[in-house]
């Protein structure tokens, strides 16, 4: 123990002696002090990174542009109870989920909307009601039958993927599947139900079928255990992770300058922050907009990953009613001629006992609705509801999200667009000198999810910690390995066999 601390201080001394010899400025002298990191972005990824670095005794400051933490997790309490305007499901209700220990420890209840292997991504067809535009309920058997056809189409798409060298869109693949197997091309009400399934698929990617890559649409990993709604909202998890951290709200980062010995970050009002390294945990949409200037510029391979990965839009229009007047099912749907015109309402009353319906448009429809005022958007959602329930009473309150145009997100979550490589997530993750990247779009396994974002934050923090401590000559891997409660067999990292 003693000898290791001696050797650390010796290495620091020699560092500062070298620095004095070359006449360096105060910025460089900071290297001899406490290891420090700036985390940019206070969503799940950024908070997870800041937490891990703080717990490893690194000095961390987290800069967040909004006046709140959480980013695309936003629990709102204006109805007098929690509702989530961003993420609300835990995808993968199982112990392998990296968030499971925390959610479990906090005693937060989950309402499971699907088990494994459901036709829909986040729901089983156990508790639902679909209607046509005239308000007539679609028979359950028909919905199940069309669900089976939908699965057959996806299997056909798999074959098409194997045959085609070049990538095509999901929509093109569907058309080829219909040409090859006309029985799959449904008609009348069945066709409309098929459009509704497509609408739900588009919701999962927050994008339209003509932009989603056939090659990579199903490459993200789904954890087992189905999907569970966070009944009390996600905010308690954010608050727990953020406890005791140095967080600066209303700090919009404009400039990130990296030097060989540290980073300088400038926020909108001109204030600067300096540290040994930075974790960039802002959304892909923000990186795409180039509103944060990097000096020197990010390398070409990083820039092209930012440009080429898709970011879709999904929104929530949350309607609060005086009392429940709709059927006691988990979700209500409206089937139509095109997936654009179909609708989906999540019935929060099932999970939370509050009289709330959540209308969830995605892709072009979501972008179009964002052009409306909040009031017009809420009216639009209500009009869709009136199509199926003409006697619907008017909502007493509503909330409207705008993830696509909000300058702090500029999109809802990432997805693979047609014709681009799948290694973009990894390229987005790979550090550039002393800049480390985190966020859902850097998750190779679980993009577009809360647990994916969380894992990337933890991973970026670990890489960053190693880098920063190495710089300070203080790297003590021994302590971490010994400190683990449940030692597991970790494969050796062998770079040359
Ligand atoms: C409508 C919707 C529904 C969703 N549903 C689910 C779901 O049910 N389950 C699920 O797992 N996932 C869901 N997701 C996805 C999930 O919310 C995201 O994958 C995850 O929250 C992303 O976390 P993040 O930390 O990567 O990014 P963010 O949460 O976006 O955090 C980035 C932070 O950076 C800040 N920032 C931006 N610009 C700057 C700047 N210049 N300077 C400083 N700070 C800046 C932002 O304000 C933000 O706080 C949903 C997303 C949306 C939009």
Q: Where are the domains of the chain?
A: 36-70+233-310+414-475, 119-221+314-400
pLDDT at 477 (0 to 100):
54
Q: How crowded is residue 109: how many other Cβ atoms within 10 Å of its Cβ?
A: 12
When pLDDT is cut at 50, 70 and 90, the band that residue 16 belongs to is very low
Taking the centre of ligand 1 as the mean of its atom positions, its distance from the CA of residue 40, in whole angstroms, is: 13
pLDDT at 221 (0 to 100):
86
Q: Is 253 annotated as a binding residue?
A: yes
Cβ atoms 455, 98 nearer than 8 A:
yes
Ligand 1 within 6 A of 448 CB?
Answer: yes
pLDDT at 460 (0 to 100):
98
Residue 11 has pLDDT above 80, yes or no: no
Nearest atom (ligand 1) to Cα of 438: 26
Residues of the chain with pLDDT > 70, as a percent, come to 89
Per residue in 246-298, pLDDT tens? Answer: 999 999 999 999 999 899 999 999 999 999 999 999 999 999 999 999 999 99
When pLDDT is cut at 50, 70 and 90, the band that residue 150 belongs to is very high
Nearest atom (ligand 1) to Cα of 457: 25
pLDDT at 9 (0 to 100):
37
Dihedral angle computed from the Cα positions of residues 422, 207, 414 and 67, in that order, rounded to the nearest 10 degrees: 170
Taking the centre of ligand 1 as the mean of its atom positions, its distance from the CA of residue 253, in whole angstroms, is: 16
The bridge status of strand 343-347 relative to strand 227-230 is unpaired
Average pLDDT over residues 113-134: 87
Collapsing DSSP states into helix, strand and coil, what is residue 392?
A: coil
- Tokens matching residue 435: 């800049």
Distance, CA of 254 to CA of 49 (rounded, Å): 20
Distance, CA of 255 to CA of 264 (rounded, Å): 8
Helix extents (H) in 246-347: 284-289, 300-308
∠ CA 330-332-338, nearest 5°, is 140
Mean pLDDT of the chain: 90
Instruction: From 450, 455, 456, 458, give the residue whose CB has the most ligand 1 atoms within 8 Å, as the site to mutate.
Output: 450
pLDDT at 124 (0 to 100):
85
Q: Is 59 left (phi over 0), alpha (psi -120 to 50) or beta?
A: beta
Nearest atom (ligand 1) to Cα of 456: 26
Q: Which residue has its alpha carbon closest to ligand 1 atom 2?
A: 86
Taking the centre of ligand 1 as the mean of its atom positions, its distance from the CA of residue 336, in whole angstroms, is: 31
Collapsing DSSP states into helix, strand and coil, what is residue 113?
A: strand
Residue 481 has pLDDT above 70, yes or no: no
Residue 29 has pLDDT above 60, yes or no: no
Q: Which residue has its alpha carbon closest to ligand 1 atom 10?
A: 449
Taking the centre of ligand 1 as the mean of its atom positions, its distance from the CA of residue 20, in whole angstroms, is: 44
Instruction: Classify residue 64 by burial, with Cβ atoms within 10 Å: 0-12, 13-18, 19+.
Output: buried
Residue 14 has pLDDT above 50, yes or no: no
Q: Which residue has the tokens 């112990």?
A: 95
**Terminal alpha carbon distance of the chain:** 34
Note the maximum CA span of the chain. 83
DSSP label at 43?
A: B
Instruction: Answer yes or no: CATH 3.40.50.1360 is held by domain 36-70+233-310+414-475.
Output: no
Per residue in 290-312, pLDDT tens? Answer: 999 999 999 999 999 999 999 99
pLDDT at 115 (0 to 100):
86
Distance, CA of 20 to CA of 16 (rounded, Å): 6
Average pLDDT over residues 211-219: 95
Q: Which residue has its alpha carbon closest to ligand 1 atom 12?
A: 449
Q: Which residue has the tokens 């098409």?
A: 160
Cβ atoms 453, 443 nearer than 8 A:
yes
Nearest atom (ligand 1) to Cα of 66: 47
Distance, CA of 262 to CA of 271 (rounded, Å): 17
Q: Is 24 annotated as a binding residue?
A: no
Tell me which architecture the domain covering 119-221+314-400 has in CATH: Alpha-Beta Complex (3.90)
Taking the centre of ligand 1 as the mean of its atom positions, its distance from the CA of residue 448, in whole angstroms, is: 9
Ligand 1 within 6 A of 237 CB?
Answer: no
Ligand 1 within 6 A of 44 CB?
Answer: yes
φ/ψ of 280, rounded to 5, equals -95, 110
Taking the centre of ligand 1 as the mean of its atom positions, its distance from the CA of residue 22, in whole angstroms, is: 44
Question: SS3 string of 139-205?
Answer: CHHHHHHHHHHHHHHHHHHHHHHHHCCCCCEHHHHHHHHHHHCHHHCCCHHHHHHHHHHHHHHHHHH
φ/ψ of 186, rounded to 5, equals -85, 170
Going by C-beta distance under 8 Å and a sequence separation of 6 or more, which residues neighbour residue 37?
53, 58, 59, 60, 275, 276, 277, 278, 279, 464, 468
Average pLDDT over residues 427-436: 97
pLDDT at 223 (0 to 100):
94
pLDDT at 442 (0 to 100):
98
Ligand 1 within 6 A of 215 CB?
Answer: no
Nearest atom (ligand 1) to Cα of 447: 19
Listing DSSP states for 479-493 in one string gives HHHHH-SS-------
Ligand 1 within 6 A of 408 CB?
Answer: yes
Nearest atom (ligand 1) to Cα of 286: 38
Average pLDDT over residues 408-412: 98
How many CA atoms lie less than 13 Å away from 446 in the CB half-sphere?
Answer: 22
When pLDDT is cut at 50, 70 and 90, the band that residue 480 belongs to is low
How many residues in the chain?
497
Distance, CA of 57 to CA of 48 (rounded, Å): 15
Ligand 1 within 6 A of 86 CB?
Answer: yes
């Amino acid at each position: 123990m003693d000898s290791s601390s001696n050797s650390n201080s010796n290495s620091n001394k020699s560092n500062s002696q070298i620095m004095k010899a070359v006449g360096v400025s105060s910025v460089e002298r900071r290297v001899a002090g406490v290891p420090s990191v700036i985390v940019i972005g206070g969503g799940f990824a950024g908070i997870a990174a800041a937490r891990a670095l703080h717990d490893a005794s690194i000095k961390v400051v987290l800069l967040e542009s909004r006046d709140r933490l959480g980013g695309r997790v936003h629990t709102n309490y204006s109805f007098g109870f929690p509702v989530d305007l961003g993420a609300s499901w835990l995808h993968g209700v199982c112990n392998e989920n990296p968030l499971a220990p925390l959610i479990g420890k906090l005693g937060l209840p989950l309402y499971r909307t699907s088990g494994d292997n459901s036709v829909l991504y986040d729901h089983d067809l156990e508790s639902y009601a679909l209607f046509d535009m005239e308000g007539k309920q679609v028979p359950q058997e028909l919905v199940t039958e069309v669900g089976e056809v939908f699965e057959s189409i996806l299997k056909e798409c798999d074959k098409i993927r194997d045959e085609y060298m070049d990538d095509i869109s999901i929509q093109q693949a569907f058309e080829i599947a219909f040409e090859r197997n006309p029985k799959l091309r449904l008609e009348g009400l069945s066709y409309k139900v098929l459009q509704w399934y497509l609408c739900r698929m588009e919701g999962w990617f927050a994008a339209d079928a003509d932009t989603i890559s056939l090659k990579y649409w199903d490459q993200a990993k789904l954890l087992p255990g189905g999907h569970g709604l966070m009944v009390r909202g996600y905010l308690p998890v954010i608050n727990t992770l953020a406890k005791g951290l140095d967080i600066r709200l209303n700090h919009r980062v404009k400039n990130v300058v990296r030097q060989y010995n540290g980073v300088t970050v400038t926020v909108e009002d001109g204030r600067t922050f300096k540290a040994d390294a930075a974790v960039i945990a802002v959304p892909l949409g923000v990186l795409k907009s180039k509103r944060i200037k990097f000096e020197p510029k990010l390398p070409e391979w990083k820039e092209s990953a930012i440009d080429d990965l898709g970011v879709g839009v999904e929104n929530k229009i949350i309607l609060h009613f005086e009392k429940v007047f709709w059927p006691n099912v988990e979700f209500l749907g409206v089937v139509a001629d095109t997936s654009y015109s179909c609708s989906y309402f999540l019935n929060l009353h099932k999970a939370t006992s509050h009289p709330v319906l959540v209308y969830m448009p995605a892709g072009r429809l979501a972008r179009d609705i964002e052009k409306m005022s909040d009031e017009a958007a809420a009216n639009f959602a209500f009009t869709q509801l009136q199509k199926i329930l003409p006697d619907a009473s008017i909502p007493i309150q509503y909330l409207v999200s705008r993830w696509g145009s909000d300058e702090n997100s500029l999109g809802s979550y990432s997805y693979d667009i047609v014709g681009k490589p799948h290694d973009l997530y990894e390229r987005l993750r790979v550090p550039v000198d002393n800049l480390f990247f985190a966020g859902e779009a850097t998750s190779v396994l679980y993009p577009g999810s809360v647990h994916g974002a969380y894992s990337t934050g933890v991973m970026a923090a670990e890489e960053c910690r190693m880098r920063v401590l190495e710089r300070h000559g203080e790297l003590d891997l021994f302590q971490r390995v010994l400190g683990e409660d449940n030692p597991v067999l970790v494969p050796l990292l062998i770079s040359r066999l």
